[in-house]
Amino acid sequence: MSFLLSLLRIRQPIRRSTRILLGLLGVGVVVVWYFWMAEARHAVNPNDKLTPTARQLVDAVTFSLTPDEFTEERPFFKDLRASLWLFNCGLIAAIVGSLVVGLLAGSWPWLNALLEPLLKVASYLPPVSLIPLIFLFLGFQDTAKIFIIFIATFLPLTRSLILRVQSIPEKLIWNFTVLGPSSLEMLVVLIRRVVEPGFLDDVRLQIGTAWVYLIVAELIASEAGLGYRINVASRNLDVAQILVYLAVIATLAFIMDRSIDYFNRWKNRWYFIGTES
Amino acid sequence: MTAAASSSTPSPTPSAVADAGTATPGTAVSSGEGKVVLQLRNIMQRLGAGDRQKVILRDVSLDVREGDIVCVVGPSGCGKSTLLYGIGGFRPFSEGRVLLDGEEITVPNRHRGCVFQDYTIPDFLTAEQNVELGMRLEGLSLLEHWLPFWAAERKARYRKTALELLEKVGLSAHAHKYPRELSGGQKQRVAIAQALAMRPRILLMDEPFSSLDPQSREVLQLLLLEIQRETGITIFFVTHDLEEAVFLGTRLIVLAPTPGMEGASIVHSECIARFDSRRAKTTPEFAATVQTIREKGFKPAQAAEISSLERQLSELSHGSPATPPLSAPGSTSTPTLSSPPPSSPKPPTT
């Protein structure tokens, strides 16, 4: 009974092993439920297309890893390479851009006054609505797709960073000033260090957005990529292929998220003191 | 311990400088000896604009001499911290001049070290790195700061100085710790060491010990006195705690609003004898000094109100003979709460 009551206590800490077990349990329940449902549906209708069985999923994986008879390239690795190239270019450009604009606009009120209306208006426009314009201006090549990912992630990262810089306590800035740094040193050595852990958390939150817009861009105009393959599979009603590629995207996003988190905890150990569980 | 004395030593500076005692707003107050490090002349500070403009400081002038610990006290919200922020160059004064070693200053710089009540040191550096920070910013370029093997000799020198300062403030065992691993008192020690590393002409301290527990506060007060004796540094210390000011200061300044005028000015200034140990706080001389400054420096009405409230509190705690007894069962007379006891004194109106 006391164990059940402890579950209701807010912020009751749990062990790391318990956290991992619960995480696996959550995913495991969904996976087991799906396969049980798929088998049940196939028992009623063997030609069911909507819920592929485990066997069909394995076949889809095998197909993706089988070299193409003309190019001798495995479709999965070709798609993965194409998508990762676009994803990384777009997100890294957004990170670098938002760091520069965010630090500068957050530190200098006059620059913030100049840029804030533009950033606000741009962020209110759904990036999806800008896609046709982007393709019109930049064509259907990689540049346009990279720009779509960039614009979708740059704006929220920048606005968030500006707020983080502006939230630095005034007395901390005064303390920095007394030590006599130049403006560049103040920005790069001091202010950047204060906002870095929060900024990296923001980047983690934008990973999902970046993947969404990558897939959207590839659905519209592409010859390779995870989104492209999903598009082709959907036209062929190949749900197994779609599910396999979705699992790949989810796995990649998870790995990226964890990597950034571990990097943050290693580089900014000071920020996480007292929060480790 | 000698009793505190009002200094009437004439200052060598021009007639604008007044002797100690009850100060007239606009005239500079000063202690007797030593070179003048900091001068404030006719400081006015206003906040807001138009109809909402408010005068915070009015005609404040003072000299701070080398080696002095000048403590500024006053009622909450009177402008003590505003005065310090202006001296530091963080919020420039609306009128008046601030001179450091004879040169006018308007922006923060290394010559005025600062220790605030909170947000004193950045969290992303260890105690040692925090103390080193100012030296590295002063002595290294950005590239040298980042590249690990450049300017190794200078970096080693800064590290050595930082460790020596941490030892001076009693934190050498905690040099590798981040501020989040330190207590409030330890963080303030790091802040003091960081400020001292810059070899400032004057150390500005804005209620640095206010958020600490009494024991930590006492320890840090003694530490500050010890550091001041060793280094001879000039300190400008703002506090709302009169006892702390009397214990630490060699000159005490009371900042308060003057009747009939908007804004605070110096209403009292006094030289204080040095108190060297905790036990000094229990001596009659110490209590007498505190009481004298409270009566002279704060508004007489305010002082009277405090005395009256203290008297009433004492009566409530110990029971006053004039207080009517509670009615016994069956008694016809019923005392009411709305009518005060006949012998209790009326508090003075302000």
pLDDT digits (tens, 9 = 90+) for A208-249: 999 999 999 998 878 889 999 999 999 989 999 999 999 999
CB contact under 8 A, B121 and A270: no
Mean pLDDT of B98-122: 90
Count of other CB atoms within 10 angstroms of residue B62: 26
Kindly state whether residues A102 and A166 are assigned to the same domain.
Answer: yes
Q: Would you give the DSSP letter of residue B344?
A: S
Name the residue range of residue A206's domain: 59-272
Count of other CB atoms within 10 angstroms of residue A245: 24
- How confident is the model at residue B302, as a pLDDT? 65
Kindly state whether residues A171 and A73 are assigned to the same domain.
Answer: yes
Kindly state whether residues A127 and A179 are assigned to the same domain.
Answer: yes
Kindly state whether residues A23 and A150 are assigned to the same domain.
Answer: no
Kindly state whether residues A152 and A39 are assigned to the same domain.
Answer: no
Kindly state whether residues A36 and A152 are assigned to the same domain.
Answer: no
CB contact under 8 A, A185 and B137: yes
**In-domain check, residue A9:** no
| Per-residue pLDDT at B308 exceeds 90 | no
Kindly state whether residues A116 and A193 are assigned to the same domain.
Answer: yes
Does the CB of B150 have a partner CB in chain A at under 8 Å? Answer: no
Does the CB of A167 have a partner CB in chain B at under 8 Å? Answer: no
Kindly state whether residues A93 and A199 are assigned to the same domain.
Answer: yes
| Per-residue pLDDT at A2 exceeds 60 | yes
Here the tokens at position A59 are: 């076949």
Does the CB of A267 have a partner CB in chain B at under 8 Å? Answer: no
- How confident is the model at residue B14, as a pLDDT? 32
Kindly state whether residues A22 and A147 are assigned to the same domain.
Answer: no
Burial (Cβ within 10 Å: 0-12, 13-18, ≥19) of residue A24: exposed
What distance in Å separates residue A101's CA from the closest CA in chain B?
20
CB contact under 8 A, B142 and A193: no
- The answer to whether the CB of B83 falls within 8 A of the CB of B57 is yes
Does the CB of B184 have a partner CB in chain A at under 8 Å? Answer: no
| Per-residue pLDDT at B159 exceeds 70 | yes
**In-domain check, residue A54:** no
Give the Cα separation of B122 and B124 in Å (integer).
Answer: 6
Kindly state whether residues A177 and A43 are assigned to the same domain.
Answer: no
Does the CB of A177 have a partner CB in chain B at under 8 Å? Answer: yes
| Per-residue pLDDT at B15 exceeds 50 | no
Count of other CB atoms within 10 angstroms of residue A124: 8
- How confident is the model at residue B346, as a pLDDT? 41
Q: What is the tally of structural domains in chain A?
A: 2
Count of other CB atoms within 10 angstroms of residue A207: 19
Here the tokens at position B195 are: 């400020």
CA nearest A196 in B: which residue? B124
Tell me the pTM. 0.80
Q: How far is CA A90 from CA A82, A142, A206, A246, B193, in A?
A: 13, 10, 11, 20, 45
Q: How far is CA A70 from CA A66, A67, A74, A215, in A?
A: 12, 9, 11, 26
Q: How far is CA A5 from CA A9, A10, A12, in A?
A: 7, 10, 10
Kindly state whether residues A155 and A226 are assigned to the same domain.
Answer: yes
Kindly state whether residues A155 and A37 are assigned to the same domain.
Answer: no
CB contact under 8 A, A194 and B122: yes
- How confident is the model at residue B145, as a pLDDT? 84
Query: Where are chain B's structural domains?
Result: 22-111+201-278, 120-199
pLDDT digits (tens, 9 = 90+) for B179-234: 999 999 999 999 999 999 999 999 999 999 998 999 999 999 999 999 999 999 99
What percent of chain B is modeled with pLDDT above 70?
79
| ipTM value | 0.81
CA B126 to chain CA centroid, Å, is 27
**In-domain check, residue A1:** no
Among A residues 22-61, those touching chain B with beta carbons less than 8 Å apart = none
Interface test with B, best of A175, A189, A190 (most B CBs within 10 A): A175
CB contact under 8 A, A268 and B124: yes
- How confident is the model at residue B267, as a pLDDT? 85
* Architecture in CATH of B22-111+201-278: 3-Layer(aba) Sandwich (3.40)
What distance in Å separates residue A19's CA from the closest CA in chain B?
25
> Residue B274: helix, strand or coil by DSSP?
coil
